[in-house]
Structure formats: C-alpha cells, structure tokens
Amino acid sequence: MAHKIAVIGGDGIGPEVVAEALKVVRAAGVELDTTDFDLSGARYLRDGTVLPDETLEEIRAFDAILLGAVGTPEVPPGVIERGLLLKMRFALDQFVNLRPFSLPEQGIDFLVVRENTEGTYAGEGGFLRKGTPNEIATQGSVNTRLGVERVIRYSFELARSRPRKHLTLVHKTNVLTFSGDLWQRTFDDVAADFPDVGTAYNHVDAACIYFVQDPGRYDVVVTDNLFGDILTDLGGAVSGGVGRASSANLNPARTGPSMFEPVHGSAPDIAGQGKADPTAAILSAALMLDFVGESDAAARISAACAEPVSGSTAEIGDQIAARVAG
C-alpha cells in the first residue's frame, strides 16, 4: 500500500531538492501517494497565507511530511518560522528533532536528539516600553518535566539500540540553574531504567569544542531546543557540510505525522540554477522511509549517499537513484 506523503516544496531550492528526493525514493521501489501543499514565503507574499488551520487539519491525515526549505528575504524574520514550522511542530507534537551525522573516514557517526517543542522556542516573553530608550525585551525558556523526560527517554532508547550504547546530556547547568537542574535530575532519574547505557555530561560550550576537535567521542547526544539548534548546524559543518545534513521532526507516539527536511535553507541566490546539492533532502527522505517502516529502502538510499557525487541538482539525483536501483 502506498504511503500518504504531504509534500511542501517551499521556497528557493526547496522544490528542486524535494523533486530529487522523491525520484530516489521511487527508484528504491517504494510506492508513495503524494499531495503537494503550497506553503511558503512566496505564498505569504502573494496572499498573506502562512498555514491555515484547515490545511493543518488536512495534513494530520498523512503518514509523513517531506519539506524542502522555506523562507525568502522579503518576508520579515519569524513569520514563516513561527507561523509554519513551529506551528506544525507544536500542533503535531513533533517533540523530537533527530539529526544524524556520519563521516566514516573520520570516525564520525553520532546522532543529536534536540527537544523540539519547548525551551526558548515556546514563545514566552514580550516587550515593555517598546520603541523607547527604556525598552525591555524578555524571552523565557519553558521546560516541563513531561517535555524533558519524554525526549530524554527517547534518547536512552535510541542509544540502547546502537552498538556503543552511550548517551551524552548537553546543557549549561552551571549558569541555567533552574532549567539545567530539571534536565540533569530528569536525566539521572531516567538513566536508572537503562543500566546498560553509558552516560556523560558536557556543558554546551565544551560540546562546541568537542564537536570540532573530537566529534568521534559522541554516540547519541540529547539537549534542549536552543542548544540543539546551534549544535546540529555545527555538526553538519564538521560532517560533510549542510548539503548533506538531514533531519527529522518526530512524533514518536504517531498521533500525528512526522516531518522530514534537510537542514539547509532556501538559498534563493542559487534557486533555479541546478546548483543545489539534493543529498540532504534525499537523506531526509531516507529517514522518512525508515520511520514509516521501509527500513530496507532507507538503508539502500543512505548507502547510496555515502560516496559524494557531483554535477547539477538533477544529475546528482540521477546518480544516486541509479545506485539505489542497482
């Protein structure tokens, strides 16, 4: 039976890389029933629409969402990010952001699990005396025991499934003494249920150094929303570049569809020129297939992407599709 996939090409190079990802999925022999949704910065500029509630409800019925990239310089910061991406994450309870990093020739093979619905991204805060010399802006970090525990437990389960069986918590407990305390206590409590998983703790500033100088030390990393956002971009930079960095926004309980997207942005400066590397989108599609139960096809696609290829966007997609098809 075909998997129902909501496709959001988005802006810039987004539609180009998604087209190649779908090409490779079909080369793997997986049947998809796709529906395209016109959600993007361009759509917002055209008619003021970001993500209508009725469209969100329609998307709930799909097995997964494959997204290219959204954002255009003409749209003010935060409009698309909060109105589309964060709205879907919150509404569909995609509380895990999973990003794999692999560069075997340098001994890099680790996963970062980022809490995806709380922290500074929850939207708590505001202004006082805005526009005056005495202006005050606050941006709170919201951390709940439920939200922290479920992402930590997911991370322990993930670490247990891997050969090294090791999980590192990254935070800033020496300064963020309230949220950090909650994260550390919860981590320690959940660790008692996983005696076979080794554990470690790094302050986030130390983790940034280790990501650059010694990324091979990591197996699975769990962290909060803001630290995860920053660390995962750094992880992409040290493991082949953001052109190869994939991600998954997961609802592990499967009460709504999960969303899969490359880490890179919409790159409007090269849109339509065939210069975009679609590998990250293809690897994101592989994550999607694994999540919907097509693990064999996912593994073949990931293996086909192990050796970098060059060429135009379509040529790279063709070469990877040929590898997958055998």
What is the structure's pLDDT at 168?
98
CA distance 101 to 179: 27
Q: Residue 102 burial (CB < 10 Å; 0-12/13-18/19+)? A: middle
According to CATH, the topology of domain 99-241 is: Isopropylmalate Dehydrogenase (3.40.718)
Whether 326 shows a pLDDT value over 90: the answer reads: no
- Give DSSP secondary structure letters for 262-322: ESS---GGGTTTT----HHHHHHHHHHHHHTT-HHHHHHHHHHTSS---S-HHHHHHHHHH
Q: Is residue 149 very low, low, confident or very high in pLDDT (cuts 50, 70, 90)?
A: very high
> What residue ranges do the domains of the chain occupy?
1-94+251-326, 99-241
User: Among residues of the chain, what percentage have pLDDT more than 70?
Assistant: 100
pLDDT tens track for 12-30: 999 999 999 999 999 999 9
Options 3.20.20.70, 3.40.718.10, 3.40.50.1820, 3.40.50.970; CATH for 1-94+251-326 is 3.40.718.10
Neighbours of 43 (CB within 10 A): 20
Whether 104 shows a pLDDT value over 90: the answer reads: no
Neighbours of 292 (CB within 10 A): 21
SS (H, E, C) 187-241: HHHHHCCCCCCEEEEEEHHHHHHHHHHCHHHCCEEEECHHHHHHHHHHHHHHCCC
User: Among residues of the chain, what percentage have pLDDT more than 90?
Assistant: 93
CA distance 102 to 313: 22
CA distance 191 to 153: 8
Beta strand pairing call for 246-250 and 258-262? antiparallel
pLDDT tens track for 259-279: 999 999 999 999 999 999 999
Whether 39 shows a pLDDT value over 90: the answer reads: yes
Q: Is residue 234 very low, low, confident or very high in pLDDT (cuts 50, 70, 90)?
A: very high
> Which amino acid is it at 128?
L
What is the structure's pLDDT at 103?
85
Instruction: Tell me the mean pLDDT in the region 241-245.
Output: 86
CA distance 155 to 169: 10
Neighbours of 181 (CB within 10 A): 13
72-86, 155-169, 189-203, range with the lowest pLDDT = 72-86
**Is residue 151 within 8 Å of 119, Cβ to Cβ?**
no
Q: Dihedral through CA 27, CA 66, CA 99, CA 314, nearest 10?
A: 50
Give 46's DSSP letter.
H
CA distance 221 to 129: 40
pTM of the model as a whole: 0.94
What is the structure's pLDDT at 1?
79
Residue 180 has φ and ψ, to the nearest 5°, of -60, -40
Catalytic residue IDs: 121, 172, 205, 229, 233
